[in-house]
């Protein structure tokens, strides 16, 4: 008689109560704004699906979905510019995530501290 296979547990998933609140775009993604937790500085915008948000909530490191590469990426795994998660919130509509982080090094892929320092646009 062959031994019974070990039972497999299902892959963890995002808390259903959180998942129910999300309003995703047609690709199943929500924008995620990373903000420095102590200064309020807006660092970058990335994209998350349910799995990226679950990983962010459970690991304490920001995980995003790369639309160009079609894969998950953990901020800082290759650059060393890590985002340590301090808090995560949904906006009132459930269509945007705000992740307050402690940013180590540059947040932008260009090497700049923030993605939003390329210059302000003229008003009026």
Structure tokens, 103: 């940013």
DSSP 21-84: H----TTS-EEEEEEETTT--EEEEEEE-HHHHHHHHHHSB-EEEETTTTEEEETTTTTS--EE
Rg (alpha carbons) of the chain, rounded to whole number: 17
**Is 16-103 a domain of CATH 3.60.21.10?**
no
Q: Where are the domains of the chain?
A: 16-103
Distance of CA 72 to the CA centre of its chain: 10
- Going residue by residue through the chain, which has 124 residues, state the pLDDT in tens, using 9 for 90 and above: 566 666 565 678 999 999 999 999 999 999 999 999 999 999 999 999 999 999 999 999 999 999 999 999 999 998 999 999 999 999 999 999 999 999 999 999 889 999 998 778 899 8
Q: What is the reported pLDDT for 4?
A: 60
Q: What is the reported pLDDT for 63?
A: 97
Q: What is the pTM of this model?
A: 0.87
Q: What is the reported pLDDT for 10?
A: 64
Structure tokens, 75: 């901020």
CA distances from 44 to 14, 16, 33, 71, 97 (A): 23, 27, 6, 18, 12
């Amino acid at each position: 008689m062959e031994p019974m296979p070990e039972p497999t547990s299902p892959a963890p998933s995002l808390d259903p109560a959180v998942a129910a609140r999300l309003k995703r775009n047609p690709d199943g993604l929500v924008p995620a704004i990373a903000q420095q937790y102590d200064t309020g500085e807006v660092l970058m915008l990335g994209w998350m699906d349910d799995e990226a948000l679950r990983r962010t909530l459970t690991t304490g490191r920001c995980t995003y979905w790369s639309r160009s590469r079609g894969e998950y990426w953990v901020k800082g795994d290759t650059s060393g510019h890590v985002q340590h998660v301090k808090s995560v919130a949904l906006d009132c509509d459930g269509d945007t995530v705000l992740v307050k982080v402690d940013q180590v090094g540059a947040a932008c892929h260009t090497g700049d501290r923030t993605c939003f320092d390329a210059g302000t646009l003229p008003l009026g």
